[in-house]
Chains A and B, each alone.
Chain A
């Protein structure tokens, strides 16, 4: 019995992914998110292939310059996120607070610009001669609003979590020994940025 106890104390659990559990969980979850967006984006590709003559040219309906700036905002928020994580690893409390706050604000800004873009399109957009560009505007409208809308929904959820993390930062929760939460949230946030990188290219530029 003492032998068995010694065995338990000496031996670690079976080798997993050599990575802490919450990180494994987030990566596994992101796999499902890849499949979700693959469903939406895959449908877009297929539908477009089958109806390419009715598709609007880049820039004809959508506001590319504004969205390009929005893309830049989201990329910046990824930088501030990764800097927040670096600050946590280094136990830099000021940096943690500053960068988490910045990431939250940049994320919220992205949403704001997207909301503005949607309003402009629905009220003043031009598609096939008629006024107003909505999800009912053919396959072009359907795929545009569904893909960007669900991406935006994921950004919204991310911003809510970031706000929570920022509040926790001001309560001194994060630090050198407590940064797994920031890293895991960061993985989600970078993923959302990654999806947008793909979406921006294929929806706005091609």
Chain B
């Protein structure tokens, strides 16, 4: 079942270089394992660094493999909606333990 109004969407841009994204993901994974075990930074630096790299990888998958970078802005908005809800929940509960 094809939607005519959506017909133009797939051909409006050049396809990203999927293999390049794969290479970035590969490098980031190696970097993560390396930093977790081989570095001598203080613990909080390691944690922040690892979380940052995880978020970076997640963004690469979301924006390029899941195509969000090239989707209409309204769809990106939909994808963002659960994030504040999840954040509020986790942050509020964490207040019990700080």
Q: A and B touching (C-beta < 8 Å)? A: yes
- Taking CB atoms and an 8 Å cut-off, the chain B residues in 60-87 that contact chain A are 61-62, 65-67, 71-72, 74-75, 78-79, 81-83, 85-86
In angstroms, Cα B18 to Cα A2, docked, is 51
Interface residues of B, CB < 8 Å — how many?
51
- Chain B residues near A38: list those with CB within 8 A: 82, 85-86, 89-90
Closest chain A residue, CB of each to CB of B68? A27
- Chain B residues near A183: list those with CB within 8 A: 67
Q: A64-106, CB under 8 A of B: which get 1 and which 0?
A: 1000100110011011011100100100000000000000000
In angstroms, Cα B25 to Cα A201, docked, is 13
Within 8 Å of chain B (Cβ to Cβ): is A191?
A: yes
- Chain A residues near B46: list those with CB within 8 A: 206
* Shortest distance from the beta carbon of B54 to any chain A beta carbon, whole Å: 4
Within 8 Å of chain B (Cβ to Cβ): is A17?
A: yes
Within 8 Å of chain B (Cβ to Cβ): is A12?
A: yes
Q: Known contacts A17-B72, A58-B37, A71-B29: does B54 contact A201 (CB below 8 Å)?
A: yes
Interface of B is mostly: helix
Q: Known contacts A190-B66, A201-B51, A205-B36: does B29 contact A68 (CB below 8 Å)?
A: yes
Within 8 Å of chain B (Cβ to Cβ): is A10?
A: no
- Chain A residues near B5: list those with CB within 8 A: 12, 15, 18
From A20, A32, A68, A79, contact of B18 by CB (8 A): A79
A sample of 12 cross-chain residue pairs with beta-carbon separation below 8 angstroms, ordered by A number, consists of: A12-B4, A19-B72, A27-B79, A31-B82, A42-B89, A49-B98, A186-B65, A190-B61, A190-B62, A194-B62, A201-B54, A205-B36
Shortest beta-carbon contacts, A-B, top 4: A38-B86, A201-B54, A42-B90, A205-B36
B residues sitting closer than 8 Å to A (CB atoms) are 1-6, 9-10, 15, 18-19, 21-22, 25-26, 29, 32-33, 36-37, 46-47, 50-51, 53-54, 57-58, 61-62, 65-67, 71-72, 74-75, 78-79, 81-83, 85-86, 89-90, 93-94, 96-98
